[in-house]
């Protein structure tokens, strides 16, 4: 299986801050990477697909970049409604889809 | 608007089979895409279980493959999960979701249903 390592596991930032989360794959996955947001008690919500494409309706303050083994997810200006856990997920190695361990984002 | 809704028992005894159904509205399963199950143990991360194409072909997480069956009923616009020989480690919130690329990108999700394995 391809292992997805997310860091940090949690972070605390102020409203308006730039927030960056990284995801590292254990082998080359090209750009076959998605990012999801999960608010407490809710289902995950697709934000970014194919590493850098913004899902329809998702605010432009969210972005993704990277290819190969190293990926970055960025919130350009943290808002109170962005409090959630964020997961990366690879889909290069079907049928073994795997998620990262998650990054919990809190407001300082 | 595409909507998915999980249904099934919230409590399953150890060694028995967990059975869940996902009812899809706002989109006909027979039109395409694939349909998957993902679970999340309390306080933990996400684990993909398996998926079924609209054609009924399936693919499963290798770590669960021996215990999992995912099937589709296009006449009812539903797809289902069966997980056999459950243990307490299978206690989780189970989500159904649409895989828009039929290759691992889940764009619509159900609200999730908690299944507890306990005697």
pLDDT, tens digit, 9 for 90 and up, residues A50-91: 999 999 999 999 999 999 999 999 999 999 999 999 999 999
Q: Measured between alpha carbons, how far is A45 from A88 in angstroms, rounded to an integer?
A: 11
Candidates A90, A94, A101; nearest CB to B45: A101
In Å, how far is B93's CA from the nearest CA of chain A?
10
Quickly list DSSP for chain B.
--EEEEES-SEE-TTS-EEEEEEEESS-GGGS-EEEEEEE-TTS--EEEEEEETTS-EEE-TTTGGGEEEEEETTTTEEEEEE-S--GGG-EEEEEEEETTSSS-EEEE---EEEEE--
Distances in Å between the alpha carbon of B21 and those of B83, B113, B115? 12, 10, 13
Helix (H) or strand (E) segment spanning residue B5: strand B3-7
pLDDT band per the 50, 70, 90 thresholds, residue B55: confident
Selected residue with higher pLDDT from B23 and B32: B23
pLDDT tens per residue across span B71-106 = 999 999 999 999 999 999 999 999 999 998 778 999
pLDDT at B26 over 90: yes
* A94: chain B residues, CB-CB within 8 Å: 59, 103-104
Would you state the structure tokens that stand for residue A107, as one six-digit string?
Answer: 């407001």
Question: What residues in A contact B110, CB-CB < 8 Å?
Answer: 43
Asked if pLDDT for residue B117 goes beyond 90, the answer is yes
Interface test with B, best of A43, A48, A84 (most B CBs within 10 A): A43
Check: CB of residue B62 under 8 Å from CB of residue A96: yes
> Do residue B45 and residue A44 have CB atoms under 8 angstroms apart?
no
Tell me the percentage of chain B whose pLDDT exceeds 90: 92
pLDDT the model gives residue B22? 98
CA–CA gap between residue B14 and residue B87 (Å, rounded): 5
Return the CA Rg of chain B.
Answer: 13
Residues 6 or more apart whose Cβ sits within 8 Å of residue B76:
B23
3-state secondary structure of B27: coil
Q: How much is the pLDDT for A36?
A: 98
Chain A: residue nearest B113 by CA?
A43
pLDDT for the residue B61: 94
- Give me the numbers of helices (H) and strands (E) for chain B, helices first please: 0, 11
**What confidence score (pLDDT) does residue B100 get?**
87
In the predicted structure, residue A94 carries a pLDDT above the cut 90: no
> For the residues B12-22, what does the mean pLDDT come to?
98
For residue B21, what pLDDT is reported? 98
**Among B18, B21, B9, CA closest to B77:** B21
């Amino acid at each position: 299986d391809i292992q997805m390592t997310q860091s940090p596991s949690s972070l605390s930032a102020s409203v308006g801050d730039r927030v960056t989360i990284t995801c590292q794959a254990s082998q080359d996955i090209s750009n076959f990477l998605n990012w999801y947001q999960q608010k407490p008690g809710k289902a995950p919500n697709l934000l970014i697909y194919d590493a850098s494409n913004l899902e329809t309706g998702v605010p432009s303050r969210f972005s993704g970049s990277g290819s190969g083994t190293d990926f970055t997810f960025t919130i350009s200006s943290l808002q109170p409604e962005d409090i959630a856990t964020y997961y990366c997920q690879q889909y290069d190695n079907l049928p073994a889809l795997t998620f990262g361990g998650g990054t919990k984002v809190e407001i300082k | 608007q595409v909507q998915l809704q999980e249904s099934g028992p919230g409590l399953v005894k150890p060694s028995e089979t967990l059975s869940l159904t996902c009812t899809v509205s706002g989109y006909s399963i027979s039109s395409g895409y694939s349909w998957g199950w993902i679970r999340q143990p309390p306080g933990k991360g996400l684990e993909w279980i398996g998926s079924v194409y609209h054609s009924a072909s399936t693919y499963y997480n290798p770590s669960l493959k021996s215990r999992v069956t995912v099937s589709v009923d296009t006449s009812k616009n539903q797809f289902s999960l069966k997980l056999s020989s459950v243990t307490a480690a299978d206690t989780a919130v189970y989500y159904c979701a649409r895989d828009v690329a039929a290759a691992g990108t889940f764009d619509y999700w159900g609200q999730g249903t908690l299944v507890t394995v306990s005697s």
